[in-house]
Amino acid sequence: MAHRQDQLRRPSIHDVASRAGVSAATVSKVMAGVTTVKRENAQRVFDAVEQLGYRVDPLASDMRRARRRIIGAIMPEFESEFFGQMLTQLESLAEQRGYTLVAASSRESEARETEILARMHDWRVAGVVLAPVRNEHGPAAAFMKANGMTGVLIDRVLSDDAFDTVSADSASASAEVARELLGKGHRHVLVVGLGEQAATVRARLDGFRAAALRLAPDARIDVVLAETDVEPLRARLRDYFAKGERPTAVYSLFLKGTLVALSEFRRRGWHCPDDISLVGFDDAEWMQATWPAIAAVVQPVRQIAGHAMDVLFARIEGKQGPPTARLEPCRVLMRESVGAPGSGPHSGGRQ
């Protein structure tokens, strides 16, 4: 019961100092591993630390330096597997370097993105990993630049003149999807997607279209996009099908688009791959459990996170030089949702 009060106030460096009979400066040195402390005094400090259960207050410790040992991470959302995995990776990598990761969700809002960034600037974070809502040209990146913050942009970005960028090689992956689909005989493909303004949309779309038209110049590539919200996309997709369009395959540029496409197929009673084929950018755990399993492009989360942290810490440690733009290769998993066109009762066949 004697330590009841210990629970209220944690021991500070001065408590350790007085118990060890040395000054606070000496305790600080011992904790930092400085070797110019007499062996005997160091031992007394270790003993006092042990007895009091002392631990350094990391925030107080960071007060004197310009940047704190904190990395900020801003993701568009917390709800998806992709960003969840990304956070897990980033957290683990930050910890490995003795930093703490502080994560925030911009909830797909550029305004909130900037607010969070301002808050992280207030915290004097050493660096920021920003996954922008749209692309590298938003207000958030401008804020970071204007305030001299250190950071790296990931995911929905191409390249930037102020910050290093890391993203999946969407274009190559999309080209591979095109080769797979065209190779199976598809000549009328619908591309659906969310986030018209996202940097990755153009890369994915162009990559797909270029590869498709190279293989089959007569192929027809339709596009249905919507900005941000799922419902407008669903409405447009419904309109598209209502007009009588019957593509033999759908390529969705984002996970949510894949879900919208699937539920529209449901609604119309179309089955994959008999009536229509489906490939989605972004893999998810459930895609292998369903019937049919959904073909997907798997993003290299670990590689993106790893490279992002590498370049970020290089900048934190003062590395100069022009920003780099890294593309990490994806894997394309062709599953049962893709087949040859025209085999099902409701399928459209070629033009």
Query: Residue 118 touches which of DNA, its own copies, none (CB < 5 to 8 A by kind)?
Result: its own copies
With beta carbons less than 8 A apart as the criterion, state whether 282 and 82 touch.
Answer: yes
- If binding is defined by CB under 7 A, does position 56 make contact with DNA? yes
3-state secondary structure of 68: strand
Which of 99, 95, 90 is closest to 61 using CA atoms? 99
Are the CB atoms for 204 and 170 separated by under 8 Å? Answer: yes
Return the number of the residue (1 or 289) whose C-beta is nearest its own copies. 289
CA 167/CA 201 separation, integer angstroms: 12
Residue 99 lies near DNA (rule: CB under 7 A): no
Chosen residue from 6, 18, 21, 343 binding DNA by CB under 7 A: 21
Q: Identify the bridge partners of residue 193 per DSSP, sorted by sequence position.
A: 225
* CB burial of residue 161 (10 Å; 0-12, 13-18, 19+): exposed
Among 47, 50, 79, 227, binds its own copies (CB under 8 A): 79
Check binding of 51 to its own copies (CB under 8 A).
Answer: no
**Can residue 28 be called a binding residue for its own copies (CB under 8 A)?**
no
268 binds its own copies (CB under 8 A): no
| Minimum CB distance to DNA smaller for 57 or for 79 | 57
d(CA 314, CA 308): 10
List residues bridging with 332 in a β-sheet: 297
Q: Considering the complex, what minimum distance in angstroms separates the CB of residue 237 from its own copies? A: 13
Tell me which amino acid residue 170 is: S
Binding mask 284-323 for its own copies (x = CB under 8 A): xxx-xxxx-x------------------------------
Give the integer Cα–Cα distance in Å for 88 and 92. Answer: 6
Structural contact between residues 246 and 215, judged by C-beta atoms closer than 8 angstroms: no
Rounded CA-CA distance 120/127 in Å is: 9
When asked if residue 41 is in the footprint of DNA (CB under 7 A), the reply is yes
Candidates 47, 57, 196, 227: give the one binding its own copies (CB under 8 A).
57
Q: Which residues of this protein are in contact with DNA, per CB under 7 A?
A: 9-13, 21-29, 31-32, 36-38, 40-41, 54-57, 60-61, 63-66
Q: Which residues of this protein are in contact with its own copies, per CB under 8 A?
A: 7-10, 55-60, 62-63, 66, 68, 77-81, 83-85, 87-88, 91, 100-105, 107, 118-119, 121-124, 147-148, 259-260, 262-263, 265-266, 271, 284-286, 288-291, 293
